[in-house]
């Protein structure tokens, strides 16, 4: 059963990663500003954008998603 849990975890991270990277691409903010708002080093955001999904937990991806969501819902 453990492998099923790993697969589900990976699928969840993969979905979150797609959402986050799409929102980053659509954001008017630069990557450095997004990283700063998320409280992570810019290199860490670069790792995400490079597809290094194994380096991120579901919690980290959810926090990034929330950070980018806040930006997109804030009027200019």
Tens digit of pLDDT at every position of the chain (76 positions): 455 668 999 999 999 999 999 999 998 889 999 999 989 999 999 999 999 998 999 999 998 999 888 766 555 4
pTM equals 0.77
Determine, yes or no, domain membership for 30.
yes
Domain count, the chain: 1
Determine, yes or no, domain membership for 50.
yes
Determine, yes or no, domain membership for 2.
no
Number of other residues whose CB lies within 10 A of the CB of residue 55: 11
* pLDDT at residue number 1: 44
CATH number at residue 25: 1.10.260
- HSE (side-chain half, CA atoms, 13 Å) at 28: 7
Determine, yes or no, domain membership for 76.
no
Q: Euclidean distance between the first and final Cα of the chain, in Å?
A: 48
Tell me which residue range forms the domain holding 37: 15-71
Determine, yes or no, domain membership for 5.
no
């Amino acid at each position: 059963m453990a492998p099923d849990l790993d697969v589900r975890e990976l699928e969840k991270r993969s979905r979150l990663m797609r959402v986050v990277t799409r929102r980053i691409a659509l954001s008017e903010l630069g990557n450095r500003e997004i990283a700063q708002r998320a409280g992570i080093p810019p290199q860490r955001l670069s790792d995400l954008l490079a597809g290094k999904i194994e380096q991120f937990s579901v919690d980290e991806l959810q926090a990034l998603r929330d950070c980018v969501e806040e930006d997109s819902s804030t009027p200019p």
